[in-house]
Amino acid sequence: MSGGYIANVEGTLPWDEALRGRRLWVTGGRGFIGSALVALARDCGADVRVFDADVRDDGAVRDDVLSFLPDVIVHLAARVDVTRDPVLRGPMQDVIVRGARHVREAAHEVARQHPVQVVLVGTCEEYGSIAAPFAESDVPSDPVSPYAEAKLVATREALADDGPAGLVVARPFLTYGPGQRPRQLIPALIEAALDGRSFPMTAGLQTREVNYVDDTAIGLLRAATTPEAAGRVVNVGGGEELTVADLARRVMRLAGADPGLLRLGALPTRAGEVARFCSDPSLCRSLLGHAPRVSLDEGLRRTIAHARALRATRGEP
């Protein structure tokens, strides 16, 4: 499979200069993607406030936003769980849909005082099981999980809202990197490689697009500083697409592990598995001027090095 890696996009405003001196209010800023976004924004000279309270508390959201009066809002906070369990429907709607409403309502009040750009972070899971590559103009199928369903409801509510004028929905695609939860595929593969353990998995014939966490964070910050994105849904992606089996082999090779540790086909394919999952990054490139900067091999090397460093601090080999 050919990758979507592009080193630079010419003729665009440097995203770091667009953030300098601006007030950025972030939910989910302690999470995997959020912590990378916060670090990058601060490096660029933004004044960043991370909201640590519960987004379900409308008073807490409103008070914190109005005490800071941000120029930019990035709403990342969500309960992330893509399992198909219908029991999750209520909790997902509660956190994701209500939380997004509270952030939008607070942004309305800020907009009465000065312009504010709002990035509501959706998910690529909103597209469901339609044919890939997924484009923003595609009509999603029925969501395959309560998480995806809640994200899609939040997106539709936001786009139907009459303000704030600067709201954009950004849909990041599959992201990996240092600090990701160990239950996810890439960190689980890295731990098995470093332990020298066998790794049972499916045949891995399905393809996935993967993006390094800093690239995803930069894409979201570009959405936050591109006024022309207002009122739009924009994919944040464009990383390399490859089969899951090839991704697993790549991790093993870069970690210096025996590829024979992979037990391809030891697990059955999950019911409802999507055969191909990747973005159409055209709008991301043309509107936001964004394309991945970190190649897959480089991103995996960084992630493996981070895992090794953590193990060293714990006295593990």
1's CB contacts (< 8 A; 6+ apart) are 207, 240, 241, 242, 243, 246
Q: Based on the number of CB atoms within 10 Å of its own CB, is 114 exposed (0-12), middle (13-18) or buried (19 or more)?
A: exposed
pLDDT of residue 163: 62
**Alpha helices in the chain, H assignment, sequence order:** 15-19, 32-43, 58-68, 89-92, 98-111, 146-160, 185-195, 213-224, 244-254, 282-288, 296-313
Q: Does residue 301 surpass a pLDDT of 90? A: yes
**In the chain, domain spans:** 15-313
How far is CA 245 from each of CA 205, 210, 255, 276, rounded to the nearest angstrom? 6, 13, 16, 13
Residues 35-67 have pLDDT tens digits of 999 999 999 999 999 999 999 999 999 999 999
Copy the structure tokens of residue 224.
């936050």
Residues 89-117 have pLDDT tens digits of 999 999 999 999 999 999 999 999 999 99
pLDDT band at 14; cut points 50, 70, 90: low
Q: Do 63 and 123 touch, CB atoms closer than 8 A?
A: no
pLDDT of residue 16: 77
Class of domain 15-313: alpha beta
pLDDT of residue 25: 98
pTM score, two decimals?
0.93
